[in-house]
Structure 1
């Protein structure tokens, strides 16, 4: 089996922000989170499986539970696993705070840090906080990426020019969660959605114990669930993923190929549209359409058999 790169732990849905772009609709009043003992168990299983080399921790805002996150980082580091933490940077209120936090994270073994900052986060987290983190990290030196969610009307990030030497990543906002409710369809940045899926090299565990095959914004769909870690081990979930016919078609052929193959056989998505933000956007539209999936069942079986035969020929 192909090795996966990351086990993602969405540690909590609780967040100090309520961003309009949030795919999980996080906000301060949510309390759902992972138990620390469970998170440590998942990491242990990941290490034993020899399938993962990295643990990703996100939310919500995972650092609202700082003591627990630090224990997770230390435990994963002790097992030889890399760690990535995604945060909105609420802890960068002062340069001193940012410096102290970064030093602690590095001491506990954090491999890389992702800071989410954009027009949506800025309503809750000042850009000054982010700048404090960037300045402090020049001393601490944790590999850091800055993730900026954009729509067609988004202004340039005010820190990007000044800190152009940093690793900036722009991500087109996908209509999922709160974004689907608050952002006008004309304001999304539609683009290329062809090709095979290259994002399903992960397992992502949510606070409710359900597991998904990637970290796409719109993954919280019943058809995308691989199972629950309260019922299946990580090893068993990997086997479920390996045998998931629809998912394998998405990985080997891509969602656009599947959509067009279905249309050629008279099967159409109920929400017909000619443009999508990305592969992930189209993929979530496919997995959300129960009627389409039901009609496609015999074709999915046929396409999956073709893919298996192609793999056999390459042996």
Structure 2
């Protein structure tokens, strides 16, 4: 593979009640809602994007929240843990903060020289906060609920659960251009570019685990970064030449996307860094209004009638943004 990714672009999961989802990710985790739109393939549901101040690639966690969605099953063939990067000295603060919010947490463990705190969101999605000993230079979003000195810096890594690692490892290294970093028993770590927070994926081998079922509380897909559309088009051609079944290039308004499955079953995406979330609303107003792509705009009234009401806290759009 002559083209390689620089790291994670976003992780997309299935949620339940959209208001509960927004309250948790905005207030408990302290992220910013950078875009309120709809699932372009099913516009009767929201697509909510959370991230840093401007929604930079590598900071994004997104959701399709269906209020009455059945619960999924965690297992092989899916991303089972989404990890966020926090400052090294903040794990203790986060443990107390989450417990004060009624969130049950694990004990703090140390893996690969990083402190890790695991917990679940209101729909059962497994999340982790990871403190990297070399730090993370990305600037946090400061919304008043989580002090900037403790705030999430962006995505740290994802964990893919598989029955066997060989074919998945081959896709990560030969299809995405990642490098093998290390092995800790049944956990294999791969890095994009120079590695570090936002450029990591762990492959967890659990031969006897059941297959996962994608529904509420599970990850739908994991997206990796491509710098621009020409690179993405060339990348797609290389994947097709390798025999990978890849979608056509799809317009997601804020980036362009291709999708394919790695051999272990997880749906992967390659998404462009451009054009970003500022193309249809100012930075100060990100996420405030429902945004639709041009091809759905004529149906705005019908779409809005199908969507449940969603109230955003004022701190999502602070004047100091």
Whether these two folds match at TM > 0.5 is no
Higher helix share: 1
Higher strand share: 2
Task: Name the larger-Rg structure.
Answer: 1
TM-score, normalised to structure 2, is 0.27
